Structure formats: structure tokens, C-alpha cells
Structure 1
Amino acid sequence: MQPQSPKYEQIAKEIRKRIREGVYQPKTAIPDQNTLADEFGVSRMTIKKALDGLTMEGLIYTRRGDGTYVLGDIPLKIDTNSPAEEHLGLTAELGHDRVTSKIIKFAIMFLTDELMTHLKLKKNEPVFDIIRLRLVNDKPYVLEHTYMPQKLMTDLNEQVLRHSIYSYLKENLNLKLSGAYRKIHADLSNDFDIQYLNCQAGDPILEVEQVAWLQDGTPFEYSFSRNRYNARSYTVLDISQPTA
């Protein structure tokens, strides 16, 4: 049985629905955080988390000292576009009810020089070597190859891998995820892409190489995510704040 999605995801889903149905009109303010917290019976922090996700999708934006507004008139396709700066994880982005995972590899390995550099670990420290196929609505979506320090998550298991690693890190281990460095580039399909993403030989692939770190600066992930050229794209939303 799939776990119920976190409260902030449920709230974001409802606000997203209201925007799409025109309850909250483009260029107009939505209710403030206190009002939304009272309506949904949650804390302001939970509302902020929901609104942060919607901001990353390009649906809303905040004017300093003047509230949160529906952006509108932005030709985003939420199902296939991801904010380039987003580092909440695929499940938080698309929802627990849509994302499932197939475990291809789950092993422990010792560090290569490259992993030592990216994860800032010593040579004798083991890492988890994880390959997962993430499916959206039961269709292949992204092939992820992830390396994570074992010492940060000693009880990581296959049950966690079938769902959201990021939710496990935040909600079970109380780790505070802070940021990520990404390099996005094009590649051609390899044997894994052909097998798991239903690619043809020579199909273009979008690969995202990432190092993600905790609030204290500790790297917790070095990963490669690979998508078919027509399955996903990345967007950058740049909203200048008025100075006067």
C-alpha cells in the first residue's frame, strides 16, 4: 500500500488545482500564509513548504512585503518540466501517487578518486551504489544512478528505495537538505537507456549530473539522472524583485 503523501504535498495539490481552475486568478494575490494555515489546520511552516514547491513550478511568486501572487501566462507543462534549481526529489515534485521505483542495483562499494572528491570522504569509507528506474504513472521516466555515503544512512534499505529517498532523509533521519550543484548536458543512449527507458540506439538523452549537500555543507549525494529527450525538460524562472 502506498504511503499517504505528506501534508504539504496535499496542500500544494489543492492550491495547484485552484490555480488551474481559476479560483486563484493570474496576477492576483492568493490568501496569506496565516489564512491558509487556518484553512488547512497546519503550521505556517507547512504552508511555506507547499508554496515553495509551487514557486519552483513557476505557478506563483512572492513580492517582498506584498504577498504571494499567481504568475499566469507562463507556458509551462508541469508534467514534463522541472525547475533547474529544484532539489526536493522526484516524488515531492510529482507526488507519491504518481511515482514508483524499480530497483536495478543496490550495493555497497568503496570509493574511487572521483567519488572521494565529490562526496568529500576518505578512501576507506563505503558508499551505497544505487541504480533505480523511476516510473511516473507506471511509465519509464528517469534512470537514476546515485552514490550516497553509508555513514549518513546506515539503515537505508530496499523498502526506502521503492519510494522516496529524500523523504526518508528528511522525515526519518531529520537531515536538513540545503542545495545542489547540477550540470545538465546531452548524451546518446547507452545499453541501460535502451533496456529501461525504451530508447532506440542513438536516441538523444538528457543527463543531469548532481552533487547535493546538507545544511551544514556535507555532501550526501552524487548522482546521474538520465531521461529520454522527449520525456523531461528543465526550466529556469527568474523574477526580478522591484527595488523601489
Structure 2
Amino acid sequence: MSAATAPVDATADGLRSDDLLRVEAVDGGHGSTAVLFGVSLGVPRNGLCCLMGRNGVGKSTVLQTIVGLLKARRGRVIFDGQDITKLRPYDRARAGIAFVPQGRDCFPQLTVMENMRVVQEARRDLPRSGIDDALDLFPRLKDLLDRPAGFLSGGQMQQLAIARALVTQPKLLLLDEPTEGIQPSIILEIEDAIAQLKRTAGLSILLVEQYVDFALRLAERYAVMDGGRVVDAGDTAGLEDGHVRRLLAV
């Protein structure tokens, strides 16, 4: 762990009793291939934790395990005080977890608006204002509502992918490398949207990201992975980015 000072309610592995999400000593992987080894991390309520590491260290596997696409072989996933380790992905989504995977998955043949309505129609329990609220964060999409998603630029598609997730009005948003392959001006728009969500929506975010400056500007907490393990974690306040960069260079 880093030298960052933890509050008195922090456990030995850095988890805190008031975290919205707690991943506790989780082992996991793909099929017979083990990828995660005792991973523990927490996401604060109404805050953002950035999960960093080089390619192939298990970051995306952590997110897929949290949402139930992969099963935890050992350990627990605690969300909002409830053990969700054995819940199906759909039930985790209904509990308030939204996931934007790497690759910006959308329905390319459907328009921007149709992509968002698909999500809304799948969750009839949600307030009907969800689409408007999501579009307010990404005003660039308002001029593209009738355009098929397959004709969007990479940056526009990333904004749509995040907006679709926000239609569900989640408590926790998982973002897997949202800046990958995105032009700098769009990265700034995405950063502004995430910062606004933190300020106004009471949303917790777990951000997987290799763009260190982007991640640390947004995050209150951080964790660094290597070889399927969390090798460093703590608060970003007072953290020198050179410390993280050295870990990522190992």
C-alpha cells in the first residue's frame, strides 16, 4: 500500500467500511486460466477510484467479475452493503451497476436515439427522464439522434456508450478505458461529463484507465495492478504521479 493516510475505518487491505463497492480478496479468470489473485479494492460513495496497470494485468477481468460476466472463484463482491457475488449479471444491473466495456459496444444499425431507447425499454421500472438527463451531459449527441451509431466517430460512439449506461440511472458506473483511441478534444468532454456526474448525480465510478493524468485529475482513490494483483492503492490527495508512473513502467 502507498503511504497515503487511511481513515480509522479502513481495513488492513485498504478497504473502508463505508465504500459503496468492496471487492474482497477475489480470485478469478477466464475458463481454466487464472487471472486474478486475491484482488481487493474499494470504490467510495459518491467518489471515483481509478484502477491502473499495464495491458494484460487483469483490470478488465476485475470489471467483468464485478458485473457477473465472470465468476469469482474465491472472495466476495459487496455492493451497497449486500453480497452480490452469486447474483446474475441482470440482477446486478437492476441493483444499480452499469458497465461501459472497452470497445464502446453499441447497436451500429440503430440510431443514437434508438440505442438509448433500447436500454430504457429493457428497464420499464426506470424514470422516463433518463434519456434527457444522459443527453444533457453529452450535448454533442443531441445533433446526432437520427444518425446510425455505426456512422459515429470513435469519440461520439464512446459518448453514446456512456450515455446509454447512464439511462439506467445507476449507483455505480464501471468505465473500461474510455479514452482509448479518442481525440483530445473529446477526452476533455468526457472528463467534464464525469466530473459533473460526481458533483451532481451522487454517482460512484470505478475507472480503468492508462491515461494517468486523466485518471488522477478525477479520482479520490487509486489502485495499481500488476500480475493479477493490486500492488499499490490509496488516496490520490498528495500523490505524486511519478510514483504511479514508476509502478506502471515495471
Instruction: State TM-score, norm by structure 2.
Output: 0.30
More helix by share: 2
Higher relative contact order structure (alpha carbons within 8 Å, sequence separation ≥ 6): 2
Please say which structure displays the higher CA radius of gyration. Answer: 1
TM-score, structure 1 normalization: 0.30
Higher strand share: 1
